[in-house]
Amino acid sequence: MSTRTLKIPRAYDRWMPRNGDRYFVILGDGTIRTFWWNGTDFDQEAWKFGNCFRMWKDAEHAREAVKEMLLHFHREQE
């Protein structure tokens, strides 16, 4: 089995929305939802976790990577 090294950008290298900006979040069921940045606790936590995307296509790409990683995780647990 091959192991990939994930390259996680430092927090200050990532895009952070400004007040009123639209951003996208991947929900627990895999759906992508649009939110508007207001600096709320939810906004901040989504950004800190890395679940805050400028473009829908970026959220889709991340969702596929997360799905693949979770399936791999569960296979390893068997």
Collapse the DSSP code of 78 into the 3-class scheme (helix H, G, I; strand E, B; otherwise coil) and give the result. coil
The alpha carbons of the chain give a radius of gyration, in whole angstroms, of 14
Alpha carbons 20 and 39: distance in angstroms, whole number? 9
The answer on pLDDT for 10 being more than 80 is: no
Q: Which of 59, 20, 67 lies closest to 39 in space, CA to CA?
A: 20
**Where do the domains of the chain lie?**
19-77
**How would residue 12 be classed by pLDDT, with cut points 50, 70 and 90?**
low
Could you tell me the two tokens for 25? Answer: 């979040």
Alpha carbons 70 and 78: distance in angstroms, whole number? 13
pLDDT tens column, 26-54: 999 999 999 999 999 999 999 999 999 99
